[in-house]
């Protein structure tokens, strides 16, 4: 079974609108972390936001927020007031820390296109 599932291969959003990118995860660990990265066409991976499994508040970083629903094992990324520069691939990733490892497992990504 996939550990990280991103069900939206591609998404379109109008400039200045909000958009939600879905991510569900599968783990039996109690302690884990969830990350979102942005990958522009140039290829670099840009860290956006982090949510720990024990964090009670949803994480926010500027225009990015993470809608964390632990019981449903979902960690959706919300981008508010979309900008043309938000057009990129977005990857959800999980770090399971129970075994003392710090590896990340990535989903297959969602390609976001912002329309003027």
64 belongs to the binding site for other proteins (CB under 8 A): no
Candidates 13-21, 68-76, 78-86, 93-101; binding stretch for other proteins (CB under 8 A): 93-101
91 belongs to the binding site for other proteins (CB under 8 A): yes
Sign of CA dihedral 116, 63, 24, 105: positive
Closest listed residue to residue 50, CA positions, set 87, 70, 71, 75: 75
Residue 86 DSSP class = G
List the one residue from 24, 35, 68, 79 that touches other proteins (CB under 8 A): 35
List the one residue from 13, 21, 24, 33 that touches other proteins (CB under 8 A): 33
Q: Which two tokens stand for residue 72?
A: 């449903």
12 belongs to the binding site for other proteins (CB under 8 A): no
Which residues are near other proteins by CB under 8 A?
Answer: 4, 9, 33, 35, 37, 42-45, 47, 50, 52, 91, 93, 95, 97, 102-109
């Amino acid at each position: 079974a996939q550990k990280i599932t991103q069900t939206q291969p591609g998404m379109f959003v109008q400039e200045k609108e909000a958009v939600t990118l879905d991510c569900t995860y599968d783990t039996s660990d109690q302690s884990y972390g969830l990350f979102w990265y942005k990958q522009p066409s140039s290829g670099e991976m840009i860290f956006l936001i982090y949510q720990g499994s024990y964090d009670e508040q949803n994480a926010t970083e500027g225009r990015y927020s993470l809608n964390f629903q632990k019981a449903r094992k979902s960690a959706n990324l919300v981008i508010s007031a979309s900008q043309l520069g938000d057009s990129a691939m977005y990857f959800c990733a999980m770090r399971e820390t129970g075994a003392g490892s710090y590896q990340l497992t990535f989903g297959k990504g969602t390609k976001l296109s912002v329309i003027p």
